Structure 1
Amino acid sequence: MAYVIKGDEEKVLKLKKALYGLKQAPRAWNSRIDNYFQKNGFTKCNNPSMFEDFKKAMTQEFEMTDIGLMSYYLGIEVKQMERGIFISQGSFAREMLKKFKMNNCKHVSTPVECGIKLSKHEEGERVDPKIFKSLVGSLRYLTCTRPDILYGVRLVSRYMESPTTTHFKAAKRILRYVKGTIDFGLLYSSSNEFKLVGYSDSDWGGDVDDRKSTTGFVFYLGSSAFTWSSKKQPIVTLSTCEAEYFAATSSVCHAIWLRKLLKELHMPQEDATEIFVDNKSAIALAKNPVFHDRSKHIDTRYHFIRECIVKKEVQLKFVKTHDQVADIFTKLLKNEIFSKLRALLGVTGN
């Protein structure tokens, strides 16, 4: 249906301001932030979403006013402390709890109930998808500084089209967890160590509807986690080894991209980037191309990992499961293990 004004049938409306949810909105926002940074002396890197102030990069004179300006546009709170820089979204979390009438709820120790199995075919009354999408969207934004809730948010995101009271209850549990950790955020401690290190993990067939697995990874510069992911794999894997191998391949691809980016930011990684995996069979499969019977059904694009190992760009190393930080992005965890991995991520109270 077209909107037509009599007498002006040949004219079109010019959009002066892109509204949230429209296809034009991301482009309009990118254009605005791009113009702002370039007017203030920043230079765009080869990565189109990255900017650098070369003058300050050379003198290392970064001011908190610059960080504060960036955080203003992102809606993130930044606090300079003796231990380092603490970033959080406490105000946003409080507004979110108030919006969904959960500001007086009882808090819980983990964002997802251990042992829960959600499905698209859950019994129960249907929930208004608009309310559910609004809740999930708010939780997604909170993951900017709260990677500890990422797995739970990705889990409930699968059911936005036709949510039930069971799905809504699972989403509200994440709010109850946020209630008890409302002042938590990420602490970036000062360090002279800029070695890139990653952790890669996967569950196996965790989605009860299509039996696809979840890939999770996190990368550190020194002791600080700065990029993470929790995403369902695009194919159904036939074993734990295969699921871990695919997860490792995704991690390697991200590591190669990060190495190129860090080189552009004057922090080149001379040694191979270590990626820790808790499955010895997946490591062996990545290093040994002779395993034809076990791997001939695997798409060739996933064997990219072998080329990177040969070029000594990455190195897969074994880590025990209880020290696998990426576990927090792939599966349900008991409180004790969850708290340990959350601390290793750098998520802590103010």
Structure 2
Amino acid sequence: MKDLSTLSYFLGLEVTLSYNGYYLSQAKYASDLLSKAGITDNKIVSTLLEYNVKLTPLDGEPICDVTRYRQLVSSLIYLTVTCLDISLAMGMVSKFMDALHFVHYAVVLRILRNVKGLLYHGLHHSFRSSLKLHAYSDVDWAGDQTNRCSITSFYFLLGTSLISWRSKKQDVVSHSSTEAEYRALADTTCELVWFRWLLADMDAPQPTVIPLYCDNRSAIYIAHNNIFHERTKHIEIDYYITHQHLKKGNLKLFSISFANQPTDIFTKSHLPGCLRDLISKLQLASSLPPQV
């Protein structure tokens, strides 16, 4: 074994220690990626995607050589380790690895120019953060334009520190927004239970029920009500996942308004002002650039 002193850089991750906590970023990795993509000018964009953009496999003219596109997308996916605000955009462009068009490539370049403007953004984990866990769950119903599957999103905060998040397309098509929301709620519940076990093993047990916020009142009602009928029986399995842990006291569901739902950043594109507000809610912060 060898003592490598204080952790500062590992597999593209930069760890900066300050008086109030740690900053995790990938500034050097992102800078190298921008150079590799040939983006050396000062042009940046304020949003990852155009507002309400919808990408399909038949957009624009096809590109024969997809090698460069695949390399850039794969590299950007690794950047989501700390730049989680690009998760939705990466989920969209990664679907066109085999059916690439110029429109899709232009979106990747736009993502890179947005990353250039937020080069030193990363995750801040405060020393003064509590160890109380809370979660948010949301969904974009039928948000995928190719097969109309919904997009599940959630994130978990340990005090004020963001420790887990997801933006992922669901496996099946949902008949209603309530069904899609409830499937997302079941996925979030599974992650929540796993975190309870992990924190208990790390000698940081959760003394009270964990709050889980959802902006769909129908999904919350179904979680508390065990009476099924024809319109809801197809989500019965997902129902029992959440309902059982409600009864055990592992979690408590709270309603949250659409305007205050922070996980919207993982489900849809936004205008610049709204995007800045959502990024601030994710506890993303900027560390200082390295001194030359």
Q: TM-score by structure 2 length?
A: 0.93
Which of 208, 219, 237 aligns to 2:145? It is 208
Computing the radius of gyration from Cα coordinates, the structure with the larger value is 1
Shift, 1:127, TM fit: 4.8
Question: How far apart, CA to CA, are the structure 1 residues paired with 2:26 and 2:37?
Answer: 17
Asked whether 1:186 is paired with 2:123, we answer yes
Shift, 1:280, TM fit: 0.7
SS class of match (1:158) = helix
Question: What corresponds to 1:9 in structure 2?
Answer: none
Q: TM-score by structure 1 length?
A: 0.78
Paired AA for residue 328 in structure 1: I
Shift, 1:184, TM fit: 1.1
Shift, 1:107, TM fit: 0.7
Question: What corresponds to 2:204 in structure 1?
Answer: 267
Which of 306, 324, 337 aligns to 2:274? It is 337
**1:246-291 deviations in Å (ceiling 9; x for gaps):** 1111000001111111111111112111111011111111111114
SS class of match (1:275) = strand
Which of 143, 148, 154 aligns to 1:217? It is 154
Question: What corresponds to 1:242 in structure 2?
Answer: 179
**Is this contact kept in 1: 2:26–2:79, CA < 8 A?**
yes
**Is this contact kept in 1: 2:46–2:117, CA < 8 A?**
yes
SS class of match (2:81) = coil
Gaps of 5+ in 2: 288-292
Identity of aligned residues (%): 36
Question: How far apart, CA to CA, are the structure 1 residues paired with 2:186 and 2:243?
Answer: 9
Question: How far apart, CA to CA, are the structure 1 residues paired with 2:210 and 2:194?
Answer: 12
Paired AA for residue 166 in structure 2: S
Question: How far apart, CA to CA, are the structure 2 residues paired with 1:166 and 1:127?
Answer: 13
Which of 73, 98, 113 aligns to 1:136? It is 73
Which of 193, 197, 200 aligns to 1:256? It is 193
**Is this contact kept in 2: 1:112–1:173, CA < 8 A?**
yes
Question: How far apart, CA to CA, are the structure 2 residues paired with 1:115 and 1:342?
Answer: 18
- Bigger relative contact order, structure 1 or 2, given CA contacts below 8 A and separation 6+? 2
Shift, 1:176, TM fit: 0.8
Question: What corresponds to 2:110 in structure 1?
Answer: 173
Gaps of 5+ in 1: 1-38, 42-63
Paired AA for residue 317 in structure 1: F
SS class of match (2:50) = coil
Question: How far apart, CA to CA, are the structure 1 residues paired with 2:226 and 2:6?
Answer: 49
Shift, 1:66, TM fit: 4.7
SS class of match (2:235) = coil
Question: What corresponds to 2:50 in structure 1?
Answer: 113
Moved over 4 A (4+): none
Kindly tell me the number of residue pairs found equivalent between the two proteins.
Answer: 287
Question: How far apart, CA to CA, are the structure 2 residues paired with 1:245 and 1:299?
Answer: 10
